[in-house]
Amino acid sequence: MALRVPKSAYPQLFKEGYKNLQGIEEAVIRNIQAIHELSEIVRTSFGPNGRNKMVINHLEKLFVTNDAATIIRELEVIHPAAKLLVMASQQQEQEVGDATNFVIIFAGELLQKAEYLLRMGLHPSEIVQGYELASSKATEILAGLGVETITDYRSEDQLLRAVKPVIAAKQYGNEELLSNLVIEAALIIMPKNPAAFNVDNIRVVKIMGSSIYESKVVKGMVFGREPEGVVTKALKAKVGVFTCSLDTAQTETKGTVLIHNAQEMMNFTKGEEQHMEKIFKELADAGINVVVTGSGIGDLALHYLNRFNIMAIKVLSKFDLRRLCRVIGATPLARLGPPMPEEMGYCDIVETVEIGGDRVTVFRQENESSKTSTIVVRGATQNHLDDIERAIDDGVNIVKAVTRDGRLVPGAGATEMELTKRLLSFGEKTPGINQHSIKSFAEALEVFPRTLAENAGLDATQILSKLYAAHHQDDSGVIGVDVESESEECTLDSVKAGILDSLQAKSWALKFATDAALTVLRVDQIIMSKPAGGPKPPQQNPNWDED
C-alpha cells in the first residue's frame, strides 16, 4: 500500500501568492462560464430589434449603443479567457468592420455546447478535432451559398442591396436614408480600381440640432469651426498648410533685452511687426489666399492675414490636417515662410457655411471625383449622433468588403439555418466520436435565428421548428426570420425581402469565432501570479515634532 504524501511535503514550485487552477472543472468550465457571461451581454443587442446598452466608461463618458465593438471596447474586460474573445472581435472589426457581435455570440455558443460534451465525458482534444472539421466544412458550404454577386461597384441599386441590411441592424427605421447617404459618399470617392477603395476617405461630421433627415453629403472636407479672420470665402484657392503656429518666433533660450527709453521700445516692436509683415507679404505674393495651421494664430499674424485678404483656418487634429493635405495636394510645412509651387495645395471653393446654428468651413472640389467626401449628420443628442456615426461606419466598411468580394448570402438567419442543416447531415456521415462535436457546432449556429426571434419578441422555439421544416423542404436556403411579421408565419424569403449579408464578413466571423473557442478549449491550467503592488506608502512618524 502506497503511503500518502502530506501536501506540505511537495516542493514549492511558485512564489507565495500564486493561484493555480487546473483540470476540466477548475480551468475549462470556469473559462466557459466567463465567456458565456460576455456573450449574453451582447446577444440581446443582435439584429434590428437589438436593445441598446448604457455603458459608462472609466472617464465617466456615457455610451448608449447596440454596437458590439463599442460595448466591448468600453467595458474593459479583465478575465483572461474573455479577453481572447474580445481580441477576436477586435480583429473582425479591423478585417471587415462589421459582424463583431457574430464572433462573440457564436464563440460563446460553441463553448456552451462544448461544456455539455465535456460533462458527457468527451476529452477537450476530441471536441477541438471535431470543431476544426466542422469549421472547414462550414467555410466550404458557405462559399456555395452565395445568391447574388455585386459586379458594378458604381451602381447604387447593387450597393444598396449590401449596405441597407447592415445599417438596418444598427439604425432600424432610418436604414433607407442612411444607406443612400453612405452610397452617395462612397460613389464620390470610388477609385477607378474599386479594390483600392479607402474607408478613411469618407468622413463624418456631427452637428447637433434639427433631425436626422437634414443630414447630407458634402463633396470635400468639412471642419466644424469657422475661419479665424474676417475673410470667409475663397474661390480657386491656393492653400498653404503649416504645422507650426502663425506667430512671432519664440527663441529656444530665454534672452533679456535692456530697453532704456520709449524710442527703443518703439523700434523693438516695429522691427517685430516689419518681420511679420514681410513673411505674410511673401505668402500673398506667392498667390496664397488660404492658410491652414495645425496650431495657434497670434493677434499680429491675424492682423496681417486680414490686411492681405488671406483666409486663415485652424485644424487642431493632425489626422484631419493630413487628410486635408491629401485632398488638396499640399505638403504640410514645419516652418513659416512661402511654400514652393509644388508644396501648395489647390481647392476650388473654400467657404464658411451655416448648418443649423453652427458655422462650418467647407473645402470643396468641383471636379467629378473628389478624394474625400463628408457626411454631415444632424440629430438631437450627442449619443444619438455617435450611434448614427457607428452605423454609417459599418455601412462604409461593408462597401469596402464587397469591393474585395462581391458575393452576398441570404440574411435574417437563413444562411445559419442552412449551414446547421448541412453540417448536421455531414455529422451523421462522420464515423467515430467526432460526430458529437460536429453536430454541436451545427446546433450552435441555431443561436442566430433564435436570437433574432427573441429580440423581436417572437416565440423562438416555434420559429426554429418552422425554419427547420422550410429548409428541409427546399434546398435554396433563403428562408429566414421575419422580425416585422404580424401573422403566425414569422418566416420570409430573405432574398426577395432584400436582406442579404456579405459572404466575406460571415466567413471571417466564423473563422475568428472558431479560433477563439478552440484556444479556450485547449487551455487546461491557469497560473496567475500575485499582482505586483508597488512600494508601501510612507507611514506617518508619530514623533515627527521631536528632534
pLDDT for 260 beyond 50: yes
pLDDT for 547 beyond 70: no
Buried/exposed 491-508: b ≥16 CB within 10 Å, e otherwise: bbbbbebebbbbbbbbbb
pLDDT tens digit sequence for 171-190: 888 888 888 888 888 888 88
Mean pLDDT calculated for residue range 310-333: 80
Give the pLDDT confidence score for residue 158 in this predicted structure: 81
Percent of the chain scoring above 70 in pLDDT: 91
Question: Does the pTM exceed 0.85?
Answer: no
| Beta carbons of 401 and 98 less than 8 angstroms apart | yes
pLDDT tens digit sequence for 204-252: 888 887 788 888 888 878 877 777 777 777 787 788 888 777 766 655 5
Query: Which DSSP category does 416 fall into?
Result: H
pLDDT for 524 beyond 70: yes
Percent of the chain scoring above 90 in pLDDT: 0
Mean pLDDT calculated for residue range 68-85: 84
167 or 245: whose pLDDT is higher?
A: 167
pLDDT band at 477 (very low <50, low <70, confident <90, very high): confident
> Where does 291-433 have alpha helices with state H?
299-307, 318-328, 382-404, 414-429
Mean pLDDT calculated for residue range 38-53: 84
Give the pLDDT confidence score for residue 248 in this predicted structure: 65
pLDDT for 544 beyond 70: no
Of 126-135, 177-186, 271-280, give the lowest mean pLDDT range: 271-280
Task: Rank 304-308, 340-344, 451-455 by mean pLDDT and report only the highest.
Answer: 451-455
pLDDT band at 391 (very low <50, low <70, confident <90, very high): confident
C-alpha distances out from residue 340 to 119, 159, 204, 245, 288, Å: 74, 42, 32, 19, 11
pLDDT tens digit sequence for 105-130: 989 988 888 888 888 888 888 888 88
> Where does 78-120 have alpha helices with state H?
80-95, 100-120
Give the pLDDT confidence score for residue 9 in this predicted structure: 46
- What distance in Å separates the CA atoms of residue 292 and residue 321, rounded to the nearest whole number? 8
Query: Which DSSP category does 72 fall into?
Result: H
Give the pLDDT confidence score for residue 370 in this predicted structure: 66
Three cell numbers at 64? 448608449
pLDDT tens digit sequence for 482-499: 777 666 677 778 778 778
The length of the chain, given as a count of residues:
547
- What distance in Å separates the CA atoms of residue 239 and residue 333, rounded to the nearest whole number? 12
Residue 369: how many other CB atoms lie within 10 Å? 13
Mean pLDDT of the chain: 80
pLDDT band at 310 (very low <50, low <70, confident <90, very high): confident
Structural domains in the chain, CATH included, are 12-147+410-483+490-528 (1.10.560.10), 221-364 (3.50.7.10)
pLDDT for 2 beyond 60: no
Mean pLDDT calculated for residue range 118-143: 86
